[in-house]
Amino acid sequence: MPIKLYTLILVMVILANPVIATKDTYTVNVTGGTKSPGIDTLQLGPYLTNETFFTLYHYMNDTPGSGLSSCNSNCAKIWPSFYIENLNVNPSLNPNDFTTITRTDGMKQLAYKGWPLYLYSGDTKPYQANGKR
């Protein structure tokens, strides 16, 4: 059975002009609506993206707030963990909702509202959400 990761769906206002990353900071954006080409936003709704607008996901087998990631070994090859040290968030997001966990392999991973965040290796261009199921 394939491992399923689901797109983190957020209920919030989408800003028309997302914050742009500078050289030393990286932005987590809220993406969706008419400003996101290539996404069926009626089906997906608003979602988190990294500073280059690649979709961020969470894994339903993770326990939010546990500080642990359940996606390891082969799973982590398909769903690499997401981490940035100098976080800058879109103004519609609360920076206090983001925390850092340490994975069993010693790597750091960013979590949103307790859910560890992942990228999907099948997303090869910004705004894709090929990992949604």
Distance between CA atoms of residues 110 and 2, nearest Å: 24
Burial state string for 91-108 with b = 16 or more CB within 10 A and e = fewer than 16: eebeeeebeebebeeeee
Least confident of 6-20, 59-73, 89-103, 108-122: 6-20
Distance between CA atoms of residues 43 and 105, nearest Å: 35
pTM of the model: 0.72
**Domain ranges, ordered by start, for the chain:** 5-116
Per-residue pLDDT tens over the stretch 52-100: 889 899 999 999 999 999 999 999 999 999 998 888 888 878 889 999 9
